Structure 1
Amino acid sequence: MPAAYALAHLHGRTPHPDAIEYLERIQGTLDPFHGRFLIHGDTLEVVEGEWPGSVVLIEFPGGMADAREWYASPAYQDILTLRTDHTDGDVILADGVGPGYDPLKRAEQLRSADPSAYAR
């Protein structure tokens, strides 16, 4: 089973003590689901397009069920407004790909699903 990820694009932050409390408490909400931060910061190198704000990437090795359970957990829901009341952003949960992922096979699947849309 591939890992799943929570990805947040955060912007429009208003400095507030609640944001610090959120940071102090979030790891405790992740621990039961083996969640861990992979990216957490403002230092980005944008090589295409625009990316105002910061990015956060959290890995859930147990997969999408763990990511969903974490987000819906009472412990996380209890602190969520500490962030959302003072920071705008978008958050998604996404399945990762396994170690054998092959983009060529994905291209073949897309082409065979709708040959006219992907004709050369």
Structure 2
Amino acid sequence: MPKGYVIVTETIHDPAGMAAYSQLSGRSLAEYDGRVLVVDDGVEIREGSWPGSRTVVIEFASVEQARAWYESESYQAAAPLRRAAADCSLVIAAGFVPRPAPTATG
């Protein structure tokens, strides 16, 4: 079964507001067994990036689990804090993550 992923891109305008959002959304992630895989805080400058922008990738057991988290009361209670603190786009996706190739031992 493919895993579920939530991919978020956001530009933060209010770091304190995002901290409050992160506390609430972290609790809701724990309820749905989501784990943050990547947080790119714009350390690497790339075309199209701007100060305060970041990308976050969250993994769930399935796309249905990712959707359930997004639609949950606990996440929806946190969402207004993020909307007030950042411009954000969010995508829910399904996919497989390949395992690393085995290494030869000699």
Q: TM-score with structure 2 length normalisation?
A: 0.79
Whether the 8 Å contact between 2:6 and 2:91 is mirrored in structure 1 is yes
SS in 1 for 2:2: coil
Give, in angstroms, the shift of residue 50 of structure 1: 2.1
Whether the 8 Å contact between 2:17 and 2:81 is mirrored in structure 1 is yes
Give, in angstroms, the shift of residue 2 of structure 1: 1.4
Question: 1:38-66 deviations in whole A, cap 9, x for unaligned?
Answer: 1124144356x423321101000x21100
Structure 1 residues 4-43: aligned runs within 5 Å: 4-11=4-11, 13-15=12-14, 17-43=16-42
Aligned mates of 1:99, 1:15 — CA distance in 2: 36
Structure 1 unaligned spans of 5+: 101-120
Distance change >3 Å, CA 98–CA 38, structure 1 → 2: closer
1:116 corresponds to: none
Give, in angstroms, the shift of residue 99 of structure 1: 4.5
* 2:14 is the alignment partner of 1:3: no
Structure index of larger Rg: 1
Aligned mates of 1:41, 1:33 — CA distance in 2: 23
Structure 1 residues 78-89: aligned runs within 5 Å: 78-89=77-88
1:67 corresponds to: 66
Whether the 8 Å contact between 2:42 and 2:49 is mirrored in structure 1 is no
Distance change >3 Å, CA 36–CA 98, structure 1 → 2: closer
Structure 1 residues 69-108: aligned runs within 5 Å: 69-97=68-96, 99=98
SS in 2 for 1:90: strand
Amino acid at match of 1:58: I
Aligned mates of 1:9, 1:73 — CA distance in 2: 20
Runs of 4+ in 1 over 4 A off after TM superposition: none
SS in 1 for 2:25: helix
Q: Percent identity?
A: 28
